[in-house]
Amino acid sequence: MSRFRGILQASLNATKKDLVPPTERFIFNFNSKDELKKWHLYSDSEYGGIFSGNLSLDFIEGAKLKINRSGFCGMRSKKFDGFIDLDPYDTIALKVKGDGRCYISTIYTENWVNSPGQEEDNSWQAFVFVPKDNWYIAKIPLARYLPTWRGNVIDAEMEMNPSRVVGMSLSVNAEGGLPGARTGAGDFKLEIDWIKALRT
């Protein structure tokens, strides 16, 4: 009987080793045109994962949409085919080179809030300060992502469901962000090498 238990325990230990996910997982690797096709780009961009443009605080006369602020630009991944399960991970890492601005990293999860009239995915946002001119690996704990609705933090106790991630985005605002970051109208440029999930 003890020999059987020993074999069973050895088998379980071997299985556990096979079931443990790697300590990191590529979500996006911006090294090919096919990879870039996975994103909706809402600004000037080039092959190689460059997100760039010019932020303006001016309003366009006669615009179809009524807005009360400007100076915003973003790029969003196309909705994943199914879900990405980030439950085994605790951190999002981005290898970026920027311009001293503060960017916004957004994770979209399946909508489970069921708010009346809200059919959009849940969005979770965190600031990413990107130093100027040098490649930098920004690490954002998943716990730092806050629930948002149209760019505003929701004042509610909610927890992200990291096993049901349906997309991601990066955006920039002319105003706001972290202290010390460059703000205001003008050019912006963010180069992105990859985005990974990490278990730290």
Which element (helix H / strand E) includes 7? helix 2-19
CA distance 138 to 140: 7
Q: Which domains occur in the chain, in start order?
A: 23-198 (2.60.120)
Residue-level pLDDT at 175? 81
Residue 78 has pLDDT above 80, yes or no: yes
- The answer to whether the predicted template modeling score (pTM) of the entire model surpasses 0.95 is no
Show contacts of 46-51: CB within 8 Å, 24+ apart: 48/191, 49/191, 49/192, 49/193, 50/189, 50/190, 50/191, 50/192, 51/75, 51/170, 51/188, 51/189, 51/190, 51/191, 51/192
CA distance 22 to 162: 16
DSSP annotation of 117: T
For residue range 133-172, list pLDDT tens digits in order. 899 999 999 999 999 987 788 887 788 999 999 999 998 8
CA distance 102 to 174: 9
DSSP annotation of 32: S
